[in-house]
Amino acid sequence: MKKNILGLNPKDTKFLLIVVFLTLFTPILLQPFAAGSELAQFNGGYPDLMQKIAIFGIFAVGFNILFGLTGYLSFGHAAFLGIGSYAAVWMFKLLTMNVIPGILLAMVVSGLFAAAIGYVSLRRSGIYFSILTLAFAQMCYKMAYSVLTPLTNGETGLQLTLNDPRILDGAQQGSSLPVTNIFGLAMNSSYKVEALGRVFTFNVGFYFCAVIAILAFYVAIRLFRSPFGMMLRAVKSNQQRMTYTGLDPKPYTLAAFVISGMYAGLAGGLLAAMDPLAGADRMLWTASGEVVIMTILGGAGTLMGPVLGAGVIKYLENIFSKINEGVLHDWFSFLPDGVEDVVIWVFARFTGEGWHLTLGVTFMLVVTFLPGGLIEGLKRLASRIRNGSQKRDKYDDPDPEHRPDPGKRVAGE
């Protein structure tokens, strides 16, 4: 038997190393355009965006463990994200500004909520399951917004104040709020490096998120390749056969639900660690929908897809919403006046406030032409490059039983 590093086969090890490389070099990779150039608009290498990509990557990877493997489409996962944020902020208020206890509590609390919500919701499958999770998430949102105001600070959102106890941090005097840190290293500190006419920002918060994202991704690979992961795919494939094979699908789906809820809680805790406030809006149903879109856009059931989807959506959201009419004026000032106005009007629908339209069009195109998501697009591209562009039809995938190899095809076919 071949020796496996970290319990992964050579192919997965290579895959993980690529992900580690991409993640650690994000500050450089997302900064391709020189500062001051017209295209600098499209640079994404600033801490806030990079942190969001890593955090929502974790969220989507966790969601995919439930949706991609078992096929159960939860429409309420943002509830766990919000619960994680509240739990983490409470830890910052009561115990310490060190993020570790906060994140751990976020995972535990959201895991407990996931167990309770999952236990009830998983009594049904298909659309009824989706509706039940949606209902629970909206209940959580409404409770956070109004009934549970003492815990959540309602509309304003849970924030740090100067007279929070913070038992472990001791008497911290001063007139400014403390910042989240990891063993004294502040999350919001950055090191800027200027090189090649570009400014690269290496941010502590981002690297903290990146390391956790890599760990979360590693756990997901192990889970996908494990017998447990196979059982989850069996749930999606045929529950009847599973039952008559002596397996109880329920604890498997519940375990997947709790695991993905804890991933969401982890992501929520990290959001709070980057910016220590938690609001009920984080639990709104649109936030639940967003993670569904991320997963499907990238490729549900694949390892890399959800991360890719999260990256694309957060990039579009942050970059496209920044492009306002003023920026468009600069771009199109070379056009004659009348034409310029028309072009700007059209582009303005897709940028700034209208970035959702760009997202919608992208999503529609991907779902229509690449049902397997962006990952499928990349795979097709890779095989095009490797094998040259042959005429492809739906019978082209290898199936020795019914379809001859391409090599054995009769000439002229």
Partner 1 sequence: MGILEVKGVGKRFGGLQALGNVNLSVQENTVHAIIGPNGAGKSTLLNCLVGKLIPDEGSVTFAGTSVLGKKPHEINQLGISRVFQTPEIFGDLTVMENMMIPCFAKRDGAFRMHAIESMEAETDLIAKAEAMLEDVGMLEKREMIASSMSRGDKRRLEIAMCLVQEPKLLLLDEPTAGMARADTNNTIALLKEIKEKRDITIAIIEHDMHVVFSLADRITVLAQGTPLVEDTPDMIKGNPKVKEAYLGETQQV
Residues found near partner 1 in the complex (CB under 8 A): 1, 4, 7-9, 222-223, 225-231, 233-234, 236-238, 240-248, 251-252, 255, 399, 401-402
Q: Residue 212: in which H helix or E strand, if any?
A: helix 204-225
Tell me how far the alpha carbon of residue 191 is from its chain's centroid.
25
- Provide the minimum distance between the beta carbon of 233 and partner 1 in the complex, in angstroms, as a whole number: 6
- Provide the minimum distance between the beta carbon of 5 and partner 1 in the complex, in angstroms, as a whole number: 12
Q: Which is nearer to partner 1, 337 or 405 (CB)?
A: 405
- Provide the minimum distance between the beta carbon of 4 and partner 1 in the complex, in angstroms, as a whole number: 7
Q: Which is nearer to partner 1, 202 or 228 (CB)?
A: 228
10 Å CB burial of residue 34 (0-12, 13-18, 19+) is middle
What are 247's two structure tokens? 């397996």
Q: Say if residues 82 and 265 touch (Cβ distance below 8 Å).
A: no
Q: Say if residues 312 and 93 touch (Cβ distance below 8 Å).
A: no
Alpha helix segments (H runs only) across 226-354 = 227-237, 239-243, 249-274, 285-298, 305-320, 325-331, 337-350
Q: Which is nearer to partner 1, 155 or 399 (CB)?
A: 399
- Provide the minimum distance between the beta carbon of 241 and partner 1 in the complex, in angstroms, as a whole number: 4
State the sign of the Cα–Cα–Cα–Cα dihedral 151, 156, 159, 163: negative
Q: Say if residues 319 and 78 touch (Cβ distance below 8 Å).
A: no
Q: Which is nearer to partner 1, 223 or 316 (CB)?
A: 223
Q: Which is nearer to partner 1, 244 or 334 (CB)?
A: 244
> CA-CA distance, 50 to 45, in Å (whole number)?
6
Q: Which is nearer to partner 1, 59 or 224 (CB)?
A: 224
- Provide the minimum distance between the beta carbon of 395 and partner 1 in the complex, in angstroms, as a whole number: 12
DSSP state of 98: B
- Provide the minimum distance between the beta carbon of 297 and partner 1 in the complex, in angstroms, as a whole number: 21
